[in-house]
Amino acid sequence: MPILNRAAELQDEIAGWRRQIHQHPETMFAVEKTAAFVADRLKEFGVDEIVTGIGRTGVVGLIKGKGPGRTIGLRADMDALPITETTGKPWASTVPGKMHACGHDGHTAMLLGAAKYLAETRNFAGNVAVIFQPAEEGGGGGNEMVKDGMMERFRIDEVYGMHNMPGMPVGQFGTRPGPIMAATDEFDITVKGRGGHAAQPHRTIDPIVIGAQLVTTLQTLVSRNTDPIASLVVSVTKFNAGFAHNVIPEEARLGGTVRTLSPALREEAEARIRQVCAGLASANGAEISVHYQRNYPVVVNHDAETGHALAVAGEIAGGSNVNGALDPMMGGEDFAYMLLARPGAFVFVGNGDTAGLHHPAYDFNDDVIPYGVSYWVKLAETRLAA
């Protein structure tokens, strides 16, 4: 089955919603205007139950079908990024320093389009919960909605998410069972030495030299301590020390990120970072402290639900346009928390030849809208067949 005729008919209206959201970006949990826009549209569509303030500023709408049955959740994210837009589009951000550089405006608009269609037709048994989440970009809004009891309150049995992918042609879908996106941990390391005159380094414990050793040694966690078939990223992204040409400072501060695709490797990476720091501290007579922050867990697609998602995508786009063995990605996504709470799947839909995610020239491709809306609708109707 190709894209739904109704989805194509609604494209211009949905694009209008998308562009309005794009012009007024909000970040993290401060998405009150976007959430209000979503709630107003759901009310216009005749959605049966609309609840705001879930997970602080999230919105859930419940659409009841023809008779009793299970409930599936369809999730979109609403928040933007603290980036200055450079697209020059007529609908460019009107808020300095903020823009929708990840396509969450498109995700929200497509799910609104699906909600409108499902509320009109109700060609399913059971319920569809349309989930609009804040703070995906680093705030863990998905986790907050789960902790707020969303799954229990709406009796959600399965949950599904979708994200656009620049570089994948419009009209194509991709995902895989099992790990699809990485756990995203962060570390901050402080190296305390003994400062002194740069002309007398033997009287000091130089934290810059120790920090440089640390940067190099951390790379061996990937190249020499991890199975080459496994996936591990350790990136030092901050290194701050010193204030003058002729002074060896007292301390150096480093920070970075660790990305893994398995819980076991996640545990091992943290342990090895702490071991490396302890060893270098002992060898150099310094003090090294490590603050290690666990952030989003691995996004793990459930086998059966991924199969359902791929089958629906194939109906919409054709089997040759669906990649069911998409390579895992080392980026993070807090839909992981929802997949820990309920079975489901996270899929990608092609955004075409556009700037990359989180780039100031990125813009969601409105040609994607009929595919995304059709996918959501057919997924709901298939999983809740009347």
* Residues catalogued as catalytic: 79, 136
Q: Who's near 361: CB < 8 A, 6+ residues apart? A: 86, 87, 355
Find out whether 81 and 101 touch, Cβ atoms under 8 Å. yes
Comparing CA positions, the residue from 289, 204, 223, 294 lying closest to residue 254 is 289
> Tokens representing 35?
């959430």
Residue with tokens 């996270």: 346
Structure tokens at 347: 């899929």
Q: Across the beta sheet with 158-166, what order do the strands follow?
A: 49-54, 58-64, 127-133, 71-77, 158-166, 344-352, 173-174, 322-323
Element housing 93 (H / E) = none
User: Coil, strand or helix: which one is 298?
Assistant: coil
312 vs 324: CA distance, rounded Å: 12
Closest CA to 379 of 27, 117, 84: 117
Q: What is the DSSP string of 327-352?
A: PPBSS--THHHHHHHS-EEEEEEEEE
Token representation of residue 102: 């990840």
347 contacts 85 by C-beta, under 8 angstroms: no
Q: Report yes or no: 78 and 144 within 8 Å, Cβ to Cβ.
A: no
Q: For residue 69, how many C-alpha atoms fall within 13 Å in the half-sphere facing its CB?
A: 23
Structure token digits, residue 133: 């989440």
Q: Give the span between the Cα atoms of 236 and 219, in whole angstroms.
A: 9
